Amino acid sequence: MTAGLGPGGTRFPGAEVCPGPVVSHRPLSHRVVSRRAVSHRPRRPQRSPRAASVRHTRGVTTDSARWQRYWDEHAGDYDRQMTAWDRRLFGDSRTWAVSRARGDVLEVAVGTGLNLPLYPEGTRLTGIDISSGMLDRARDRAAQLGRDVTLRHAGAERLPSPDASFDTVVCTFGLCAIPDHDAALGEMARVLRPGGRLILVDHVAGSSRVVRLLQRLLETVTVRQAGEHFLRRPFELLAGHGFDVVERERFKAGLVERLVATAGPVTSP
């Protein structure tokens, strides 16, 4: 996830939100119809501007502009709230993830740059996010740390990088709020060099039916409010994008999952 009181601004453990993609919407087209045609055809109801801002991608409804506004508005509270959730639920997951990064690194849903101080020396880092408010804070953090970081405003479903550009892709608590997370994983595979590492940490569907029922109820609010999902299992999609999972952990009733996967042929670290 990319910001909030736990995902979507709710008080549920394990919720960090990550941004959804930048989407441009075409204005509605209007057809000119003669009076005679009108008399023979029922008039179609005109879509409202609100309906026009919504599109469907692989079964996922997105309202990019609203979700970007949500994350921009919560950028100022994000660090405080996420630090609390790291302490209560996620533990050392950020350190765990970033310590495994090598070489040229892309961080998807970089947010306010909470991971920046944790990267090993010598890491060449690029970060993307859909929230301008988050990126402004990430730039401030990078300047304070004296780190050379390239930060870009972009969505995860269309990464602004050529094929085979990075040795490592990191995404911590981000896939939960990307509208088409399957497409995002495909993009991560595309920009990784053969043998490169994908490092993911996120809150996922819990192990118990009771927990999953609660997560489903939360999604009725959080998906509309911030685009945040609780019942995803990115692990199940990785093989379809050519990834080989080499490390995997789940804890806190299965709510938190962290993994490392390699793209293409495995090479020595």
DSSP reduced 3-state for 258? strand
Other CB atoms closer than 10 Å to residue 37's CB: what's the count? 10
Which pLDDT tens digit goes with each residue over 193-210? 999 999 999 998 888 899
Give the architecture-level CATH label for domain 7-22+54-263: 3-Layer(aba) Sandwich (3.40)
The domain spans of the chain are 7-22+54-263
Angle at 206 between CA 190 and CA 221, to 5 degrees: 85
Confidence class for position 82, pLDDT limits 50, 70, 90: confident
Kindly report the backbone phi and psi dihedral angles of residue 128, in degrees, each rounded to the nearest multiple of 5, phi listed first.
-125, 150
Which pLDDT tens digit goes with each residue over 209-231? 998 898 788 878 877 777 778 87
Which pLDDT tens digit goes with each residue over 89-111? 899 999 999 999 999 999 999 99
Report how far apart, in Å, the C-alpha atoms of 150 and of each of 92, 139, 185, 229, 260 are.
25, 9, 21, 28, 23
- Secondary structure E strands in the chain: 55-57, 60-62, 104-108, 124-129, 149-153, 166-172, 192-203, 243-251, 256-263
Which pLDDT tens digit goes with each residue over 1-45? 544 444 444 443 433 333 444 333 334 333 333 333 333 444 434
| Cβ–Cβ under 8 Å, residues 142 and 151 | yes
Distance CA 200, CA 250 (A): 12
Q: Report how far Cα 209 is from the mean position of its chain's Cα atoms.
A: 25
Q: What was the pLDDT predicted at 6?
A: 46
Kindly report the backbone phi and psi dihedral angles of residue 181, in degrees, each rounded to the nearest multiple of 5, phi listed first.
-70, -25
The reported pTM is 0.72
Q: Specify the pairing of strand 124-129 against strand 104-108.
A: parallel
| Cβ–Cβ under 8 Å, residues 115 and 99 | no
Q: Specify the pairing of strand 55-57 against strand 60-62.
A: antiparallel
Distance CA 163, CA 10 (A): 37
| Cβ–Cβ under 8 Å, residues 131 and 3 | yes
Distance CA 52, CA 24 (A): 11
